[in-house]
Amino acid sequence: MRRRHLEALRPVCPVCRAPGDEAPLEVGRVEREAEGDLLEGTLVCARARCQREFPVLDGVPLIVPDVRSFVAENVFALMARDDLSETLEGALGDCAGPGSWLDVTRQHLSSYAWDHYADLDPAEEQPPHGDPPGGLRRVLAAGLALAPPPPPGPALDAGCAVGRTAFELAALPGREDELVLGVDLNVGMLRLASRVLRQGVVRYPRRRVGVVYDRREFAARLPGAERVDFWCCDATALPLPAGTFGLATSLHVLDCIAAPVEHLAALGRALRPGGLAVLAAPYDWATSVTPLDRWLGGHSQRAPHGGASEVAVRHLLTGERARALGLELLAEDDDVPWAVRMHARSVVRYSAHVVAARAAGGAA
């Protein structure tokens, strides 16, 4: 955790916060630090009657409301080794087998690291018939093109996964002085993002077939990386003061999060008046992540939205409901291609609905 981000973004304790009454987090223990970058230690709530501790691990602070449950549920990922050779990792992967925690973790890293970084891999071949990597950056560009440039202020990438969007936001012209924060709840993906940030190296298992993964490792020196940081936070309960950001992105998160409306409200709150939100989603709903009654569309054909997710999102971002969320629709593109590589012979192609929305209180 970069001290520069801690000081400028002033995270608040997610445990004892109440509207209008928030306590700052301070550095508690420092076990490892390098040049203003807290690599291992704790943050602690400054309020005397709370003093809740939040661990910082591999440079990533865990600032979630229920730290104990989060650690209990993610203890494999938090304690996982990432120093093993490809041979050993493959042998353990064979033993653990398909669908195991190790396999699911490697599949996630494979799909997202490929889309985020394979354009920087000198050994990556262009797929002969398939989609090239970098769909995510094209989605971001399509979203930014929908609206005038965002006002000044730090940028947030919510649901950042392995981190490329955060680096893209740091490199946007005219925003060379702005800090960028990527947040996610996936510890393995944040660890990869942290390695790119701190070592300038991408290392990931790229799935070939079954439980066979090829180790990819290459340099990724991204301009503006010194202004980027990654935190483990819930994008429905951001531990930050209201009105912190000038720009917020949420790419392919709305349909991958437990509470999509709360996520939109959290973005509306985190943005400054007139701040820009760029949202994208292919509405690939699954009850394993989002309970059906929280889906935006995707059910209830009799409802005014006719079951259409893009219509449901449009309704949320206009009129009364937009005022309640603090986010108002500016413009949208209904068909932006995005692809997720599953293995060497499988790419899932999506059509993302991309939306630009403005935070309440800004000029028309």
Ligand X SMILES: C[S@@+](CC[C@H](N)C(=O)[O-])C[C@H]1O[C@@H](n2cnc3c(N)ncnc32)[C@H](O)[C@@H]1O
Bridging pattern class, strands 327-343 and 271-281: unpaired
Tokens of 207: 């799935």
| Contacts of 215 by beta carbon, 8 Å cutoff, 6+ apart | 86, 89, 203, 204, 205, 206
Identity of the residue, 171 or 242, whose beta carbon is nearer to Zn ion in the bound complex: 242
Binding mask 163-182 for ligand X (x = CB under 6 A): --------------------
Q: How far is the CB of 282 from ligand X (least distance, A)?
A: 9
Rounded distance between C-alpha atoms, residue 286 and residue 187, angstroms: 21
Say how far residue 356 (Cα) sits from the centre of its chain. 17
In DSSP notation, 121-174 reads -TTPPPPSSSPPS-HHHHHHHHHHTTSSPPPSS-EEEET-TTSHHHHHHHTSTT
Q: Binding segment for ligand X among 94-102, 146-154, 228-236, 268-276 (CB under 6 A)?
A: 228-236
Binding mask 78-117 for ligand X (x = CB under 6 A): ----------------------------------x--x--
- Is 184 one of the binding residues for ligand X (CB under 6 A)? yes
135-144 helix and 101-117 helix, angle to the nearest 10 degrees: 60
Binding mask 255-274 for ligand X (x = CB under 6 A): -xx-----------------
In DSSP notation, 162-195 reads TSHHHHHHHTSTT-TT--EEEEES-HHHHHHHHH
- Is 16 one of the binding residues for Zn ion (CB under 5 A)? yes
Q: How far is the CB of 320 from ligand X (least distance, A)?
A: 26
Q: How far is the CB of 19 from Zn ion (least distance, A)?
A: 15
Q: Are 214 and 85 in contact (CB under 8 A)?
A: no
Binding mask 146-165 for ligand X (x = CB under 6 A): -------------x-x----
50 binds, among ligand X, Zn ion, none (CB under 5 to 8 A by kind): Zn ion
- The one among 179, 185, 270, 296 contacting ligand X by CB under 6 A: 185
Q: How far is the CB of 33 from ligand X (least distance, A)?
A: 26
**Applying CB under 6 A, what is the total number of residues that bind ligand X?**
18
User: What angle (nearest 5°) sits at the alpha carbon of residue 149, between those of residues 145 and 152?
Assistant: 150
In DSSP notation, 58-84 reads TTEEB--S-HHHHHHHTHHHHH-----
Tokens of 7: 């000081």
Q: What spatial distance separates the first Cα and last Cα of the chain, rounded to whole Å?
A: 36
Identity of the residue, 177 or 335, whose beta carbon is nearer to ligand X in the bound complex: 335
- The one among 6, 136, 142, 156 contacting ligand X by CB under 6 A: 136
Residues present in the chain in total: 364
229-258 residues near ligand X, rule: CB under 6 A: 234-236, 251-253, 256-257
Binding mask 288-317 for ligand X (x = CB under 6 A): ------------------------------
- Is 189 one of the binding residues for ligand X (CB under 6 A)? yes
**Site of interaction with ligand X (CB under 6 A):** 112, 115, 136, 159, 161, 183-186, 189, 234-236, 251-253, 256-257
